Structures are given as C-alpha cells and as structure tokens.
Amino acid sequence: MSLIEPNIHPILVHFAYALSITSVLCYLVSSLKFAEPWQKSLRPAADWMLAFAALAILATIAAGFQAYYTVAHDGPSHEAMTTHRNWAVPSGAAIVLLAVWRWRRRQTPATAIFKSLLTVAAISLSVTAWWGGHIVYNYGLGVQSLPTVTGDGHDHDHGDAGRGVAMSETDDPAEHGHDLSNGRHDEDAASAGTHDNSDGHHAEDAPENRIQESADGSPSGIVTQFGLAMRAGDIERLRTLVAPDVIIAEGGGTERSFDEYAGQHMSADIAFMGAVDSTLKRRDVIDGSGLSTVISESQIHGKYNNKTVHAKMTETMVLRETKDGWRIAHIHWSSAPITGEHEH
C-alpha cells in the first residue's frame, strides 16, 4: 500500500489551480486605480505565485499522466479522463510558457496582452478543474470509500454502446408491452434452450414465445434476474446471484471477484443499463452436469453520456449449481454498433 492512494495527483492539482488563479487575480487587481498603494507588493507576489504555479503544473501533469494509465476505470470514465487530459495539457502548457515569459520580464510591469492571455489560460484551467471534479464525483475514480479495486486499471473499447454490460432482460415493459409481472419464463422456451425473436416481432405478436422474468431459480431465470437487478441498481441482489469468485470479462479486461467488479465497472454498468432500452432477440441454454451456459443476444437503443446508442450485444453466462441454487460463475459481454439498415 502506498502512502498516497492511488497517486499524488489530487494533492498537486490544488496547488496548481490555486496558485494560478490567485496570481491572475493579483495581476488584475494591481491594474486597478484603488490598488495603487499595494502595487509594489501585489506585482512581485503575483510573479512569484505564477512561478510556483508553473512548477506545480509540471508536477501535476506528470502525476496526472501516471494516474491516467494506472487508476482503474471503465469505458465512460476513460472518455471523461481523456477530455480532462485534453484540457489540462494545453492549459497547463500555456500557463508555464506565460510564467517563463513573465519571469524574464519581471523587472517591468505586466502588459495588458500578458494579463489577457493569462486570464484566458486561467479560464481554460478552470474547465480542466471542472472535468477533474466530474471524473471523481460522477465516476468515483480513485475514491477510497468505494470497494477496494484489486485489479490494474485499463481502458475499454465498447464501440457505440459505450460499455459491455449485461443485456439479459427484455425491453422496458411500459414501452414495448412485455409483461414481467408473473416472474416466469416460457417453459417451452426454457426447456428447448432457445428463444428466437429474430423475425422482428414483439411479444404481443407471439405471446406463447414471450420471454419474461423468471423467479423459479432456473439458470435462465437467474440470468434474467441479474439483468433486472442491474437495471434497478440493486447491488445486494446482484451479490446473491453470483458466485463470490465470479470471473467477469469485457472489453479485453477481466475481474476475478464480485468485489473487484463492484470496485471497477459495476457502477458504470448500472448507469448504462438505466439509460438505455434493450430487446432480447435470442437466448440459448446449454445444460451440463452441474453447469449451465446461457447465451443471450440483444439489441440496445437509447442515449448514454449524450451519445446515441444503437448496438447489438452478446452476453454469455456460465452458472454453477450450488447447495443454495444456481449461481453465476462467469460472465462475458461483447458489443458492436449496428450499422446500415435499422434492425428491430
């Protein structure tokens, strides 16, 4: 365990921002007529604060890159981190260059051009700071009150879908007319191991083939319940449906326990599930001795992080029979954007 978890960037960033903004204010105030009595002290104070701000910015950006490549994160938070980085580098570079310029001319009063450029750079730095807060408070990156992250940080490419999340339940009942109230799968579909809606008809057109939430503890039912718990954000329910040592694979990364998943991707997956609608197109169940594999193919549509989502998803879950019933031992999610003619 290091002294500063997960790195020193959150400490340095306060010095970089506070010194930069304070130096700008000192330069601007020193230009005002009422501040003439304090100009002799304000101007050198502003010069020194800007010099220290430049040093702090260099250290902050270095620590920021270290955080960018090491802090555990998911697809949506990776996108926010990249935006934060793209604001930070030019803003910080501008202030550092202006600091060098000013230090070489510190014996003369700061010019109006210098103050204007520094003000613009400070505004850009404020946008950077906002994005920094956004990735902490909206995505929880590096927040130690969350479950401990035991794996290495890594980014993911999930195409237009943004995340490789569970797509195990049907569409929003209110929008697509699916009835989830009786908590049962169609027994014929479950026993046959498949359910095919690929002809584009909704459940109201073929009620005998309707896939519904199962409450009987069958492998297919556990998968459906997992999807419903994801949509509801019911973490405790999710915990009861999986094995403690569940292995979750998505986007090239692997989490090897429920606690690790909870500390890395689960919050983003829950947010994604709550923002989009999904249509279960097909489900295959392959039964074995004490094991069952449930493969679900879905389409998802909606908006997430201000982006339109139109993708196809494949979810594979391997369930293990235990003394407490079926539990999910392995999950794999993959997705790809739907291109060309719209599918139903």
Q: Which of 83-92, 147-156, 179-188, 232-241 has the lowest mean pLDDT?
A: 179-188
Local confidence band at 44 (pLDDT 50, 70, 90 cut-offs) = confident
Whether residue 239 lies inside any domain: the answer is: yes
Q: Are residues 332 and 184 in the same domain?
A: yes
Q: Are residues 119 and 232 in the same domain?
A: no
Whether residue 104 lies inside any domain: the answer is: yes
**The most confident of 53-62, 74-83, 231-240, 257-266, by mean pLDDT:** 53-62
Whether residue 270 lies inside any domain: the answer is: yes
Q: Are residues 171 and 288 in the same domain?
A: yes
Q: Are residues 97 and 169 in the same domain?
A: no
Tell me what pLDDT residue 144 has: 54
Cα separation values, 338 from 4, 128, 162, 196, 274, Å: 43, 34, 13, 19, 20
Burial 47-71 (b: 16+ CB within 10 A, else e): bebbbbbbebbebbbebbeebbeeb
Whether residue 263 lies inside any domain: the answer is: yes
Q: Are residues 98 and 227 in the same domain?
A: no
Distance linking the first and last C-alpha atoms of the chain: 50
Q: Are residues 119 and 14 in the same domain?
A: yes
Q: Are residues 170 and 269 in the same domain?
A: yes
Whether residue 143 lies inside any domain: the answer is: no
Q: Are residues 216 and 75 in the same domain?
A: no
- Answer yes or no: is pLDDT of 322 > 70: yes
Number of domains into which the chain is organized: 2
324 beta partners: none
Q: Are residues 37 and 83 in the same domain?
A: yes
Q: Are residues 14 and 131 in the same domain?
A: yes
Burial 197-222 (b: 16+ CB within 10 A, else e): beeeeebeeeeeebbbbbeeebbbbb
Q: Which of 128, 42, 58 is nearest to 99 (CA)?
A: 58
Local confidence band at 143 (pLDDT 50, 70, 90 cut-offs) = low
Q: Work out whether strand 242-250 and strand 325-337 pair parallel, antiparallel, or are unpaired.
A: parallel
Whether residue 26 lies inside any domain: the answer is: yes
Encode pLDDT of 265-307 as tens digits. Answer: 888 888 888 888 888 889 899 988 889 999 999 888 888 888 8
Q: Are residues 220 and 109 in the same domain?
A: no
> Domain holding 314: CATH number?
3.10.450.50
112-137 vs 9-30: helix crossing angle, rounded to 10: 150
Q: Mean pLDDT across the stretch 11-16?
A: 92
Distance from chain centroid for Cα 47? 40
247 beta partners: 330
Q: Which residue range is the domain that position 29 belongs to? A: 9-137
Q: Model-level pTM?
A: 0.44
Q: Are residues 85 and 211 in the same domain?
A: no
Tell me what pLDDT residue 129 has: 93
- Phi first, then psi, for residue 158 (nearest 5°) are -115, 20
Q: Mean pLDDT across the stretch 255-269?
A: 87
Q: Which of 50, 79, 86, 51 is nearest to 65 (CA)?
A: 86
